[in-house]
Amino acid sequence: MVREPGPSVRLKLTLSYAGFLMVAGVLLLSVVWMFLLRYVPAGPINVGGPFIPNRGDLVRAFVGPAAWALVFLLAFGLLGGWILAGRMLAPLTRITDAARRVTDDSLSQRIELPGRNDEFRELADTFDAMLARLEAHVAEQKRFAANASHELRTPLAISQALLEVARNDPDRDVDLLIDRLQEVNARAIELTEALLLLSRADQRSFARERVDLSLVAEQAAETLLPLAEARGVMVTTSGDVTPVSGSPALLLQLATNLLHNAIVHNLPSGGGVRVTASAQDGLATLTVENTGDDLAPALLTTLAEPFQRGTERIRKDQAGVGLGLAIVKSIAQAHDGSLAIRPRPGGGLTVAVSLPSA
């Protein structure tokens, strides 16, 4: 924004200090006039006797020194105000310099203003905390963009390779080529839709409605029941009414992703998934427990990272695109909630999403 040049805050404070001193001096002289000189007679006093100054004599003797006193107060106020304003605004100057040094590639700048707590220190600490959050967010976005670019490039490269092989092969099987291209294209579409959903959740561009998490969990279980039966996984749901305020579509996607993740990453057969919805202490919690392999606690922090499963990149023979729990985490944060992942005794995972109750 282009602004017209104006006086600095230091100059304004200096003029304010000087003006305050001048007003105080004028008020002091007014008090002297009102409560002292008005009681002195204006005419001659003790004619023919010893000289006694009247009001006019006192005024003539008082005006000169008073004027010089006001001039001194003005000069003292300007000089002292300029120095005091500079000392008072020094922390603000430091904050401004730090803000100017901050760029997209240099978010590591910090003010770290020393001294006891006051308004300027509170502003500096808030600015440092904001920079820390911004730096973490930008780093996460860059990492996500790099991963997304790599994942989106993979199906395109596969499609190009299939087409080149088919062009150089006179005995190519057209039906097989179409099936492979359709499979690759479906994966690319699935990944693109997941990225769009993740972006929508991050931007919080949705209308809020009253939603029952228990009904959402049941709907997700019914949708994924064929997948569970095909993999030999038993799904059970339970819970009371757990109302929250949010987007029905996003919350259904959250429950579906949790349940899909629990079914896919389960035992080869005979596994189970338990979905529970509960409300307590102003929080509505959706908990999904699944059987499966034992996972080291150090790997749990990476499960909600985009395109990650544990510490490894996703493989082409695995279901999904590696954004399931990342989308769950983003949707939960968009609804002012949180995601907790912990190992389940005996193997598997327990994933809980807590949202503010409606």
Q: Which pLDDT score is estimated for 285? A: 93
| 174-203 vs 324-334: helix crossing angle, rounded to 10 | 20
Spatial distance between the Cα atoms of 193 and 282, rounded to a whole number of angstroms:
33
pLDDT along the chain (358 residues), means of 10: 74 85 83 72 65 72 80 86 85 82 73 81 86 80 69 74 80 79 78 70 77 92 89 90 88 88 85 92 92 78 62 43 76 89 87 91
Pairing of strands 349-356, 283-290: antiparallel
Handedness of CA 232, 320, 316, 160 (dihedral sign): positive
CA angle 105, 110, 112 (to 5 degrees): 175
Residues contacting residue 318 through CB under 8 Å, at least 6 positions apart:
264, 309
Q: Which pLDDT score is estimated for 162? A: 79
Burial (CB count <10 Å: 0-12, 13-18, 19+), residue 113? buried
Spatial distance between the Cα atoms of 332 and 309, rounded to a whole number of angstroms:
19
Q: Which pLDDT score is estimated for 148? A: 67
Domains by residue range for the chain, with CATH: 9-101 (no CATH), 140-203 (1.10.287.130), 209-356 (3.30.565.10)
- List beta partners, residue 246: 209
Q: Which residues of 307-319 are buried (b: 16+ CB within 10 A; e: fewer)?
A: bbbeeeebeeeee
